[in-house]
Structure 1
Amino acid sequence: MARRFRGESVHKVDAKGRVSIPAAFRRVLEEGDPDWEEGQNPNLVLVYGGKARNFIEGYTMTSMEEVDDKIAALPRGSKRRRALEHMFSGQSVQMSVDETGRLVLSPKLRSKIGISNEATFVATGDTFQIWEPSAYEEHAAALEDWMDEEDEDFDPLILLDMETAEG
């Protein structure tokens, strides 16, 4: 079973857009890049598409290949396929982690989500997200509020057993 992204942390972003990736995330990226070898830098894909998204999503090469395969299985020319191709191919960038464990976020990527001098990295299992810290705090608070609406003895693990998921 492949490693998964875990945890969250805030990292400084320098004037050139360089930001350190959490060390544990780098191990997942290495494992998820079939071309990676010891001493090399792993590749990944950052998806910034979707105007409603206020985060950038990072994919290992293997995870991105799974998404690409699912998109390719859709009928050519269908609206669904075109929309997904636009977001996951057109509004994404493939890059490598640099030799010091950093990513370079272009001005376009930083302005898309409002990052200036810090970025919050958040694990989401087989992907990770990069947020502007205050936007992430607001998002996390909304999730907590949703959880607080449940009964006092609510166990979040019950969500795993639900057949249909609510948005």
Structure 2
Amino acid sequence: MGTFENKVDRKGRVSVPATFRQALASQSYNGIVAFRSYRADAIEACGMDFIEKLNDQVSSYDFFSETQDDLATMIFADSLQLPFDSEGRIILPAPLIEHAGITERAAFVGKGRQFQIWQPAALEEQKAQARERARQQNLTVPMGDSGGAAK
């Protein structure tokens, strides 16, 4: 959860927020998996457990179907394992930096079980648009019986 902005150095190194690293600490891989978002000028990022769940979902489609092939290509062909260094930084590869338009700073945005990495100004625009769409659609989150509502 949360939004954090960090400096990106000339080599593409950027510190992953400590809370995000803590959430990934129990993973089998000491780093993140990242790929270009197909919906936004941002980088999608997650732990190995989430990429395995994505693989399971994509594998549920017929093996030679266009849907399965498109999803597998879009997610896995572009996915990169980015290890944490001793200071909790990753190196963002040039193709990911270019896709997201990241220059000197990167904004890390919690999205539940995954997160995104944005160019900060683009993120602010995206957040404003998301709020407006939510207002226009009067979006709510169904809570069911586990929502804590009084009975």
TM norm structure 2: 0.87
Amino acid of the residue matched to residue 66 of structure 1?
Answer: K
2:69 maps to 82
Q: Distance in 2 between matches of 1:122 and 1:148?
A: 21
Q: Match of 2:57, SS?
A: helix
Unaligned runs of 5+ in 1: 1-5, 37-41, 163-167
How far is 1:69 from its partner? Answer: 1.1
Which aligned pairs between 1:120-139 and structure 2 lie closer than 5 A?
120-139=107-126
Deviation, 1:59, is 1.1
Alignment of 1:45-124 (within 5 A): 45-50=33-38, 52-124=39-111
> Are the counterparts in 2 of residues 113 and 131 from structure 1 also a CA contact under 8 Å?
yes
| Partner in structure 2 of residue 160 of structure 1 | 142
1:61-119 Cα deviation digits (max 9, x unpaired):
11110111111221111011001110111011112111110110011111111100000
Q: Which residue of 1 aligns with 2:31?
A: 43
CA drift of 1:141 comes to 0.8
> How many pairs were matched up?
144
TM-score (norm 1): 0.79
Q: Structure 1 residues 103 and 49 mapped into 2: Cα distance closer, same or farther (>3 Å)?
A: same
State the identity as a percent: 31
C-alpha root-mean-square deviation of aligned residues, in Å?
A: 1.9
